[in-house]
Amino acid sequence: QAGGRLSYGSCFVTRDRTVADCMRSNLNDATVNDALAVLPSTVEHVFLHVNNLNRVPANLGTLFPSLKSIYLDGNNITSVSASDFSNMAGLEILSLNVNPITVLPGNLLSGVPNLKTFSLFLPSGYGSSLSTIPSNFFQNTRGIVNIIMYGHKGLTSFERGVFDYLADCEIISFVDCSFTFQGFPDGVFDDLVSLKYFDFFIN
């Protein structure tokens, strides 16, 4: 035990066995699956910040049937696919911040229909960047509330329809990208009727 938490190899778990802290544990693609496999299946929130991961760990949805949030910030994940997030119908938060992901498959979120927050931001001066967000990217997550994707210097425009039907969305942040007025198709924001925070500073 450490600080009231339970030790499970490379990770710590809260006493109620719902939160797994595997941050800064020097995990890599060869070791992470074994580290996660020994955790209680009751875990709902997995923190994997600042490890040495090049891809999303396999079978997260199978290992943790009640998974609600995944934080993979500060790794070296270069690509993602819909299969990475299968069997995660209850997932509400997906955080991929500060990873060199340059392409988002249109069906990436097809297995997470209850997602509320999608975050993939980059710090200023980060080398990699998205260049587009597919028009169908959010079509299976119509209850999403927060979209945080700042720092992508390769983003200059939105595809028509990318925010269609997102009536519950309250926050979109695309600070420090490269959008122009011509990059906003007519009506692209019309369905964002619940929007409270619209941040395009430094574009």
Confidence (pTM): 0.96
Handedness of CA 195, 179, 100, 123 (dihedral sign): negative
pLDDT in tens, 92-146: 999 999 999 999 999 999 999 999 999 999 998 888 899 999 999 999 999 999 9
Mean pLDDT of the chain: 95
The backbone region for 47, taken as left when phi is positive above 0, alpha when psi lies in -120 to 50, beta otherwise, is beta
Handedness of CA 104, 123, 148, 29 (dihedral sign): positive
Domain annotation for the chain: domains and CATH numbers: 1-77 (3.80.10.10), 104-202 (3.80.10.10)
Q: Given pLDDT bands bounded at 50, 70 and 90, which one contains residue 4? A: confident
pLDDT in tens, 100-113: 999 999 999 999 99
Residue 193: CB atoms within 10 A of its CB come to 10
pLDDT in tens, 38-76: 999 999 999 999 999 999 999 999 999 999 999 999 999
